[in-house]
Structure 1
């Protein structure tokens, strides 16, 4: 993202100073390096930070002292006044699938479309679109905090549950960051929200569509890559956005049927030893895992990692407990294994596997042909893996080796 922003600003005629606290990143950068932690920032038009830089970082205080705005690449994109319409998607869970699905429906309809933001290629590294084009942007709370003028023609909030509180401090602050997506819309724009989110946001700039009330153009059974109640919710949001873009229902139905799941999001990775293996490594919290547990009958559930802790310091699995009816057994790994086991052991058989490789072997010893093996961790990956993608790749490799 940083390299793309620097290249785009330089190509537009700007004088760009770049910095990264990592020595390896600096060595790989072909441009003007200036230590922004110590430099005189007076006279700069703005400071463009990576969304991962917290507001406690010295650059924010330094910019404020010099009256320099701090923005992100999404704000640079918005100020460039791109041609085409913009669909913005945020939410705690489901935003990546919803973003990819809206993009797929646009492509299916023959509309020029680009997908970016918190997914795929950095938005400032992408080619411009014509007036008829559609920009489909996944937007995190981190990105929205430093965005001020992105006016989406369609704004979607998939859902909101506690997350990233180590960054935002409180649920109110986290929800407030998400609400910026709607506050920036112009009158007449469309907002698509869940019923639960409607109470959290007073969206007054245009019509509001409730995700749960969106009629389907075809039954979910005809969408092979969109299993489970959470993907039904994601699909309803995407359907509403597609209709707002003028896409006909028969085209939407065709797009839903042809959509391919994103990697690590309810991704079927093959049938081995008579079992269907599903990679849902992106499920990094219990709220995202809960609906996945209702997507298949007879599930062997592999879970665990670094848990998201509640205010008391506990790994709270209460979100998944009502969804265990189809779960045959749980196989627990990583730092969360003990606490997860304490909450699950009275409800279903639990195996303390410790590692992903051992969990796969434990499943093979217990499952019967026709069962489903669901890797949906309900926890972050950083105890044993670099990130959720690295974790999902390890699961894929373990399955491929069977």
Structure 2
């Protein structure tokens, strides 16, 4: 794991003990810090206790009396709603730093072997681009690992040897909890409305993303997709960086035929961003090409799970908003589209330009009826209600050469634990057809 001598003898309160929180807890304890920890989920707390981590340096508490501690930091997991947390207000009044595991990593960097850090953010495409950059670097023989929002807590990783590269997927929540991360290469892919329940409007959300560059040395590399106005405005604000600023324009014509896991216009942008990162880190053209050709993609992100009777079945369960579903609809000419779940809004406006590609839509979950109303004037719709039923109907109707695409444009929490659970259920239903 990654630790720092700077944490020894200090006191931290850690709130949220799931993946990143548990990794943070272990790293702080290993470094000799004293930790007050809590999670609203009692089962999670019980698991921490069952691992026998509790001892003289760890106190499991409900935070009722946390103000009695002279804390050096309040460490939040990204899922903790900073804008609705009374503890955060109290911490600010007491000048206690409110940070996350990415900030702890930033503070630990001075003790790690010489390395570089790539930070990748944006509304959509972060995970694919993070994994692609890591794969290209590893293909080129450069020690690299990925962490952050991609589901791999960075503090749980083993430190890289000298010359290694840490590739971090960063959500806006993680950036909010980070103060000193100076990325050698910082990437903003795009900006569309998302997570507005955590921000005072879209401008505040965009400003959160832009902080990745504010923390960065002007001599370090900034790469920004300018396919949307908010991202283009951030790029304009950084124009003084000159040769240290790379803009990724939309609509660049690329031959993606040799990249089986990188189909569609959205993946063209992801590939262009990854190429720019690799070049900024000194990777040669041959290694970049080899990395693009051998990249296998990520689970639940335009993942082909089967081809049955000439019909290709794709799992894009990670597409939890219309903006992330739209590029998937643009990637294939004839699609049977399964969508629905817990909607993040009432419209599917981002998807509408691509409906000529949709043969039929199959709606599921809480948003099923509303999505059906939106789509019915444009395409045939079946209100399937459940994922299993949608798969069964699509299997009867899809013809050779067509695609059945699960790209929900909605969150999963109405019928599934998370988008991964939804994707696994889709794969199981498809495999049951064989």
Of residues 352, 356, 361 in structure 1, which corresponds to 2:387? 356
Q: Secondary structure at the match of 1:18?
A: strand
Q: 1:358 to 1:200 in 2, by over 3 A?
A: same
1:52-91 Cα shifts (integer Å, max 9, x gaps): 1112212212322332111000000001124310100001
Of residues 367, 375, 378 in structure 1, which corresponds to 2:409? 378
* TM-score using structure 1 length: 0.95
The answer to whether the 8 Å contact 2:250/2:269 transfers is: no
Q: Secondary structure at the match of 2:356?
A: coil
| 1:2 CA displacement | 1.1
Of residues 239, 242, 245 in structure 2, which corresponds to 1:208? 245
Whole-Å separation in 1 of the counterparts to 2:285 and 2:355:
35
Q: Which residue in the other structure is 2:232 paired with?
A: 198
Of residues 371, 394, 398 in structure 1, which corresponds to 2:429? 398
Q: 1:41 to 1:288 in 2, by over 3 A?
A: farther
Q: Which residue in the other structure is 2:37 paired with?
A: 18
Q: Which residue in the other structure is 2:15 paired with?
A: none
Q: Which moved more, 1:266-275 or 1:202-211?
A: 202-211
Q: Which residue in the other structure is 1:312 paired with?
A: none
Q: Which residue in the other structure is 1:92 paired with?
A: 123
Q: Find out whether 1:69 has 2:69 as its counterpart.
A: no
Of residues 276, 286, 297 in structure 2, which corresponds to 1:261? 297
Whole-Å separation in 1 of the counterparts to 2:241 and 2:62:
42
The answer to whether the 8 Å contact 1:212/1:236 transfers is: no
- Structure 2: give runs of 5+ residues left out of the alignment: 1-19
Whole-Å separation in 1 of the counterparts to 2:30 and 2:278:
33
| 1:38 CA displacement | 2.8
- Structure 1: give runs of 5+ residues left out of the alignment: 310-314
Q: Secondary structure at the match of 2:405?
A: strand
The answer to whether the 8 Å contact 1:299/1:374 transfers is: yes
| 1:42 CA displacement | 4.3
* TM-score using structure 2 length: 0.88
Whole-Å separation in 1 of the counterparts to 2:188 and 2:41:
34
Q: CA RMSD in A?
A: 1.6
Q: Find out whether 1:5 has 2:24 as its counterpart.
A: yes
Whole-Å separation in 2 of the counterparts to 1:44 and 1:396:
47
| 1:214 CA displacement | 11
Q: Which residue in the other structure is 2:338 paired with?
A: 302
Whole-Å separation in 2 of the counterparts to 1:150 and 1:61:
23
